[in-house]
């Protein structure tokens, strides 16, 4: 890892935390100081949520293509619905043994299975639950109340504001920094954001499956929200908010006083005895605290460029149906990182469906939607797909169609770029999430890094679920030699690879 320099911009942080084959130093994990992956409030009573709930039977394809709801269900939100939303979003799905310890699989992807993300929910008018702010415990599938009462004034920023029209559910996704930085050090903020996107995608699909309207945002007052949640912002911070149903909390502002929660609550953000603070993580996070409100959606964001692109591109149209074996409810609970790829040809219909799911063409006109989709560009390396030429392709975000831009065999080279993980060369395709970080910085400042990385995480999680529904293997890769990756793909100097996801047939 390079010597530390101040990292207050997207490009500076990404450059500092880039891996280089020549500069990689030995790093030994301190197993005696391994972070706890479960946050708890032992002094608070816990409300256990019902687990016996019926899973949605909708196909994942129909759910992804469905238009977002705009009206609240007339029946309102009940305890069983909230339990189902949380079960589909963040749950333990299996247990295995690693050495002397049990390991619990979750239904969401996480870099290194370190699970930095925590989930909180502010509740209003949910049947059988008191209004208030709760922390969700994935290990117990339960809620611990942190604040009691109607909190709409605190969240809206206006002390006397009526709660009418205020969201019934406001979800807050946070990252505990040391869980990831224990292994990845200064590079960990990349994974904090990717993992936030993974979980946010699960949450939005869960809300969509229950036909609840929702609004996601990465724009809010960091200090305001972290104080509301009772966090020690040196150790844990909110990275995303999702309200359901209701207005965007980011549009609310004011000088409402938020009472401090007990100091003991802040201490629950500590997950190891001897935590190390990695300066680049805190610097890039703090640099992104300012939300630029210029109204620029980024629709004119320059697309990442691949050098020596052939003059002619053959567009391949997507099809209307997917070869799904499992429905959404089944896929969400079966999702795993599977890397036991086999060199077997993948049917082109699978690839077309995957591209279709990343860009389903749903007309959403919100500023956040336009911004998030314009912050990254998506492509893939095709190596073993029936009827498809080997090479690098880019996906058109408007149509979901894709075309080849660089011919050749690149899977083996990219597997070597990804820290010599040879198994990755057996995947049929490597999906690529790319960004022009200089343009992002110019448009949205350092906070734009959150938009791009988290959105890449959302799309990566969607790939995991689509692959699971079609009985394919899938594994995300955030660790690679950054400059070698750019050279392999043929990226211009302004463009960076943010995330790679391998997909393909696996051993039965």
| Tokens, residue 46 | 């816990």
Question: What's domain 71-276's superfamily in CATH?
Answer: NADH Oxidase (3.40.109.10)
d(CA 460, CA 463): 5
159 C-beta neighbours (distance < 10 Å), count: 11
**Block residue for tokens 């008018």:** 125
* pLDDT at 160 (0 to 100): 37
- Sheet (strand 429-436) strand order: 402-407, 391-395, 377-382, 429-436, 495-504, 473-477
d(CA 235, CA 233): 5
Does the fold of domain 328-504 match that of domain 71-276? yes
Q: Are 214 and 366 in contact (CB under 8 A)?
A: no
Supply the pTM of this predicted model.
Answer: 0.93
Interaxial angle between packed helices 279-287 and 188-209, expressed in degrees from 0 to 180 and rounded to the nearest 10: 50
* pLDDT at 320 (0 to 100): 67
The residues that bridge with 242 in the sheet, in sequence order, are 171, 216
Q: Is 110 exposed, middle or buried (0-12, 13-18, 19+ CB in 10 A)?
A: buried
Q: Are 179 and 115 in contact (CB under 8 A)?
A: yes
Q: Is 31 exposed, middle or buried (0-12, 13-18, 19+ CB in 10 A)?
A: exposed
Quick one: DSSP state of residue 346? B
d(CA 409, CA 390): 6
Q: Is 170 exposed, middle or buried (0-12, 13-18, 19+ CB in 10 A)?
A: buried
How many alpha carbons lie under 13 Å from residue 71 in its C-beta half-sphere?
3
d(CA 148, CA 157): 17
Segments making up each domain of the chain, as ranges: 71-276, 328-504
* pLDDT at 252 (0 to 100): 47
C-alpha distances (whole Å) from 126 to each of 81, 130, 135, 168, 182 are 9, 7, 16, 7, 38
C-alpha distances (whole Å) from 302 to each of 68, 318, 375 are 28, 25, 9
Contacts of 74 (CB under 8 A, 6+ apart): none
Contacts of 245 (CB under 8 A, 6+ apart): 69, 72, 167, 168, 212, 213, 214
* pLDDT at 273 (0 to 100): 94
d(CA 377, CA 434): 5
Of residues 474, 491, 473, 469, the one with CA closest to residue 482: 491
d(CA 202, CA 461): 8
Of residues 259, 184, 181, the one with CA closest to residue 19: 184
- Sheet (strand 117-123) strand order: 47-48, 142-148, 132-137, 117-123, 169-176, 236-244, 215-217
Of residues 435, 387, 390, 393, the one with CA closest to residue 411: 390
d(CA 350, CA 8): 41
Residue by residue, DSSP assigns 361-401 as ------HHHHHHHHH-EEEEEESSBTT--SEEEEE-TTT--
Contacts of 17 (CB under 8 A, 6+ apart): 1, 7, 186, 187, 189, 190, 280
Tens digit of each residue's pLDDT, the chain (508 residues): 555 677 889 999 999 999 999 887 767 899 999 999 999 999 999 999 999 999 999 999 999 988 777 666 666 788 999 999 999 999 999 888 776 678 899 999 999 999 999 999 999 888 899 999 999 999 999 999 999 998 877 876 433 344 445 668 999 999 999 999 999 999 999 999 999 999 999 999 999 999 988 889 999 999 999 999 999 999 999 999 998 865 445 444 445 678 999 999 999 999 999 999 999 999 999 999 988 765 555 555 556 556 655 444 556 666 668 999 999 999 999 999 999 999 999 999 999 999 999 988 655 544 455 566 678 999 999 999 999 999 999 988 877 788 898 999 999 999 999 999 999 999 999 999 999 999 999 999 999 999 999 999 999 999 999 999 999 999 999 999 999 999 999 998 889 999 999 999 999 8
d(CA 202, CA 471): 19
Quick one: DSSP state of residue 303? P
* pLDDT at 298 (0 to 100): 55
* pLDDT at 189 (0 to 100): 98
Question: Parallel, antiparallel, or unpaired for β 495-504 and 429-436?
Answer: antiparallel
* pLDDT at 247 (0 to 100): 46
CA 271 from centroid of its chain's CA atoms = 22
C-alpha distances (whole Å) from 157 to each of 160, 219, 221, 407, 438 are 9, 14, 10, 54, 33
Of residues 269, 199, 257, the one with CA closest to residue 230: 269
User: For 328-504, CATH number?
Assistant: 3.40.109.10
Question: What residue spans of 2-46 are helical by DSSP H?
Answer: 10-16
């Amino acid at each position: 890892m390079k010597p530390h320099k101040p990292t207050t911009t997207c490009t500076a942080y990404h450059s500092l935390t880039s891996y280089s084959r020549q500069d990689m130093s030995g790093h030994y994990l301190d197993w005696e100081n391994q972070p706890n992956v479960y946050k708890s409030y032992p002094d608070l009573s816990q409300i256990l949520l019902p687990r016996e709930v019926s899973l949605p039977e909708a196909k994942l394809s129909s759910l992804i293509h469905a238009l977002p709801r705009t009206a609240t269900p007339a029946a309102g939100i009940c305890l069983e619905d909230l339990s189902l939303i949380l079960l589909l979003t963040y749950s333990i799905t299996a247990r295995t043994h690693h050495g002397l310890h049990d390991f619990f699989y979750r239904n969401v992807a996480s870099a290194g299975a370190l699970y930095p993300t925590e989930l909180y929910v502010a509740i209003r008018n949910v049947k059988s639950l008191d209004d208030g702010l709760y922390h969700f415990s994935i290990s117990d599938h339960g809620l611990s109340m942190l604040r009691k009462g109607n909190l709409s004034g605190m969240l809206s920023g206006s002390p006397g504001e009526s709660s009418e029209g205020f969201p019934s559910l406001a979800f807050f996704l946070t990252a505990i920094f040391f869980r990831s930085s224990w292994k990845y050090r200064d590079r960990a903020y990349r994974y904090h954001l990717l993992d936030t996107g993974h979980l946010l995608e699960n949450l939005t699909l869960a809300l969509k499956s229950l036909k609840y309207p929702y609004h996601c945002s990465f724009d809010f007052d960091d200090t305001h929200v972290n104080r509301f949640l009772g966090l020690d912002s040196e150790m844990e911070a909110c990275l995303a908010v999702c309200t359901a149903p209701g207005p965007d909390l980011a549009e609310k502002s004011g000088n409402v006083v938020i009472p401090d929660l007990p100091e003991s609550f802040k201490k629950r953000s500590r997950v190891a005895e001897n935590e190390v603070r990695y300066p680049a993580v805190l610097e890039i996070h703090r640099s992104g605290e300012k939300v630029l409100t210029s109204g620029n959606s980024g629709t004119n964001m320059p697309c990442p460029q691949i050098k020596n692109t052939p003059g002619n591109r053959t567009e391949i149209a997507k099809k209307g149906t997917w070869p799904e074996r499992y429905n959404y409810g089944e896929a969400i609970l079966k999702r795993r990182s599977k890397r036991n790829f086999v060199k077997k040809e993948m049917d082109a219909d699978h690839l077309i469906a995957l591209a279709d799911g990343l860009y389903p063409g749903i007309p959403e006109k919100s500023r956040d939607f336009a911004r998030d989709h314009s912050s990254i560009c998506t492509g893939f390396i095709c190596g073993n797909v029936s009827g498809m030429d080997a090479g690098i392709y880019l996906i058109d975000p408007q149509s979901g169609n894709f075309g080849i831009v660089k011919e050749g065999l690149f899977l083996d080279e990219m597997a070597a770029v990804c820290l010599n993980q040879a198994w990755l060369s057996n995947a049929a395709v490597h999906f690529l999430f790319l960004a022009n970080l200089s343009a992002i910085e110019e448009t949205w400042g350092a906070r734009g890094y959150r938009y791009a990385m988290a959105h890449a995480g959302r799309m990566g999680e969607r790939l995991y679920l689509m692959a699971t529904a079609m009985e394919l293997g899938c594994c995300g890769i955030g660790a690679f030699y950054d400059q070698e990756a750019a050279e392999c793909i043929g990226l211009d100097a302004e463009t960076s690879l943010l995330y790679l996801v391998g997909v393909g047939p696996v051993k039965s």
